[in-house]
Structure 1
């Protein structure tokens, strides 16, 4: 027996015992049981990772929370906010260099996940896939009813969807690699505001 065969034989002997896959219905039941606390969990986790969660009753209310300085470049894919920002449509598939001076991007998220405060954003909602990563500040809009309990429910929600690009976004960009000191806005948006539509 060669050394390679001995190693593989030892690996086969040391395999852990097989176990049955977890019952996915347990996760569905847990999500239903925790429906009343999902939003509060989402807000708490989002705050812990550096996001700011703002509850609003309508998209029009978002305008009251925007501090817009003259000359600030704002892009959005939310039609109700076109009057305070440039329409994102002209920037479909834009060269990233055309977006380097975007101060604020406001995008609609398809849904959120309470356990990690991640928000699912597709390329259709981004306008161009670089936008949520190249802007200085990012704001995402999500309906309270579209926040699920955990990633199991999130993957079920995305099942069957077909996008050329989509991503989960959780919090502003951050790193703690240097001296274990947390730095927000390390390689992307310096802040993330999440507007939760409660109605």
Structure 2
């Protein structure tokens, strides 16, 4: 007999995330973000989850990066958490929105100084002629902000994936996996099972 049905997917996510923090050796908050451009070309990359709750799942990036260009053209994304130590996955699909400037400012202030400077120095996803060019730009912004706080660049901020579907996948013997799908419905969530 499987586990009892949860009342909402966020309490189940919280429980699994706590397990991952206890068991994953590196970056339990690492997730794949999949986007697609206006022509439908998909692209995926690993980023770090920096906030979550009933309003959605938050990550931060350069808003001039490829993922940002994709999201401007197609405001939908998919997230994938894979916790190998637990033999679990969580798949999330939904619309994407910008987090507020205040949220982006607050998170940026918690980053290490070198990470803050890197956000100014990097033209993320753009061609780079040599590592020396990037290191030179980093030195320039380091000098520019010497002795003071590093403000958040105007082109850097957060995105929130507002889920429409959340699937919890648990490995089982003989590939008889358990898949629980939560789907957003009017006034809440519905839950069902999927064949493995």
TM, length-normalised to structure 2: 0.28
Q: Which has the higher helix share?
A: 1
**Greater relative CO, 1 or 2 (CA 8 Å, sep 6+):** 1
TM-score, normalisation: structure 1: 0.27
